[in-house]
Amino acid sequence: MTALAAYTTSTGEAVQFWVLATVAVIGALCTILMRKAVHSALCLAGTMIILAVFYLANGAYFLGIVQIVVYTGAIMMLFLFVVMLVGVTAADSLKETIKGQRWLAALCGFGFAILLFAGIGNASLKDFNGLAKANEGGNVEGLASLIFTKYVFAFEITGALLITATVGAMVLTHRERTERAKTQRERAEERVREGKHLPPLPAPGVYARHNAVDIAGLLPDGTPSELTVNQTLRERGQIRDVSSEALNDLRALEQRAADRLERPGSVRPDTGRSGEGDSGSDPVAAAAGEQTEEASK
Amino acid sequence: MNPVNYLYLAALLFAIGATGVLIRRNVIVVFMCVELMLNACNLAFVAFARLHGNLDGQIIAFFTMVVAAAEVVVGLAIIVSLFRSRHSASVDDASLMKL
């Protein structure tokens, strides 16, 4: 099988090449043109899988599998991990620091491609040997015999390089702890000494209707208590205020009752009275109610 | 079809990657474009191995992959520490050696 695949460039391979090469170039272009880094990473992963197919078609069976396992499996997923860490929503800025830099860069890339094409076109590459003889005893065995004889020193240095890279990554991302971490006992004693919040913090949720973590619990007077929600949500300003929902519901109910009883005249004073009676901050509560309605939409 | 077409494809992918390095501002995308260039070189090596009929090109491509893996690990670690100190992933913001 290897002998046949290596000696002739069959029509099947030609078809495969033209179809997959188109997709690979489109993937590469999408990699550099997509606004978001996640899309770029996914396009690049697609291009790399297609390159793996090309390796297989070229008789590099070991490299084809390694390409899929190492590149698309490990490296691209590492990329995605860092993209998630840095922030998916961060799109590239379109402001040009140097004027006309994009077009100049595109022009340079185009010229570079023409240069490379001209170089390859002028080389005498009319006939090719094929890998049938080299892959005779199996592709992996052939690679292994070369790695462990001719390239054994390069292989050893590769091991050193990998160890260095591992240590380097750890050194770069590790943050030294400057002070000893407090034990649980020390933290408990500190809390008692401060005397502010001895029991655990109150739980979020209102009236057993909303138990989402981003909804602040209500104090007896109806105002939301920021203490009940997570500090991260508090700092991001992602707290939903539903304290006025009950009042709005009551008001809607009264409105409906008034409509059914056909007493249009008595609606306005009725709701106005209930609003004043329940809490002093009626306009504020109404505004908050509108906000929550918008958020729920 | 002559396998030289693989070389043309590799050249095209390399040029696209180089253009991306010049155009893009996001560090991660720039790094991805560098990876694309490395992959294009690998394709050229594998195609040359077939043209010449020996496995040396594949060995070089294999070493390129190992080096690329090490490079990605260190590069992404640098990006993460850069992002921690500057809260930005744009190459324009990293214009000073110190903070």
Establish if B93 belongs to a structural domain: no
Distance CA(B47)–CA(A63), nearest Å, equals: 12
Establish if B76 belongs to a structural domain: yes
Specify the DSSP class assigned to residue A183: P
Establish if B13 belongs to a structural domain: yes
The per-residue pLDDT of chain A, averaged, comes to 80
Residue A190 tokens read as 């500190």
**Phi, psi (degrees; rounded to nearest 5) at A123:** -75, 150
Q: How confident is the model at residue A220 (pLDDT cuts 50, 70, 90)?
A: confident
* CATH number of the domain within which B57 lies: 1.10.287.3510
Asked whether the beta carbons of A191 and A197 are under 8 A apart, the reply is: yes
User: Across the interface, which of B6, B16, B58 has its CB nearest the CB of A143?
Assistant: B58
Helix (H, G, I), strand (E, B) or coil at A210: strand
- Asked if the Cβ–Cβ distance from B58 to A79 is below 8 Å, we say no
The answer to whether residue A256 scores a pLDDT higher than 50 is yes
Report the 10 Å Cβ neighbour count for A46. Answer: 19
The pLDDT profile of chain B, 99 residues, written as one tens digit per residue, is 788 899 999 999 999 999 999 988 888 999 999 999 999 999 999 999 998 888 999 999 999 999 999 999 999 998 888 888 877 777 777 777 665
Establish if B92 belongs to a structural domain: no
Establish if B98 belongs to a structural domain: no
Adjacent-strand bridge partners of A224:
A218
Mutate to test the interface with A, among B2, B8, B9 (most CBs of A within 10 A): B9
What's the predicted TM-score (pTM) here? 0.71
For chain A, the straight-line distance linking the first and the last C-alpha, in angstroms and rounded, comes to 62
- Per-residue model confidence as pLDDT tens digits over A231-245: 777 777 777 777 777
Specify the DSSP class assigned to residue A226: G
* Total domains, chain B: 1
| Full residue range of the structural domain in which residue B75 is found | 4-86
Distance CA(A285)–CA(A246), nearest Å, equals: 10
The A residues from 132 to 161 touching B (CB cutoff 8 Å) are 132-135, 139, 142-143, 146-147, 151, 154, 158, 161
A52 to each of A38, A55, A168, B11, how far by Cα in Å?
21, 5, 29, 17
CATH 3.90.420.10 matches A2-88+130-136: no
Helices (H), chain B: 4-23, 27-52, 56-86
Distance CA(A86)–CA(A81), nearest Å, equals: 9
- Per-residue model confidence as pLDDT tens digits over A127-159: 777 777 778 888 899 999 999 999 999 999 999
Q: Let me know if B17 is exposed, middle or buried by CB neighbors in 10 A (0-12, 13-18, 19+).
A: buried
Asked whether the beta carbons of B14 and B40 are under 8 A apart, the reply is: yes
- Asked if the Cβ–Cβ distance from A128 to B50 is below 8 Å, we say yes
Q: Give the DSSP H or E segment for A218.
A: strand A217-218
- Per-residue model confidence as pLDDT tens digits over A83-140: 888 876 666 666 677 788 889 999 999 999 999 999 998 987 777 777 777 788 888 9
Residue A48 tokens read as 């790399």
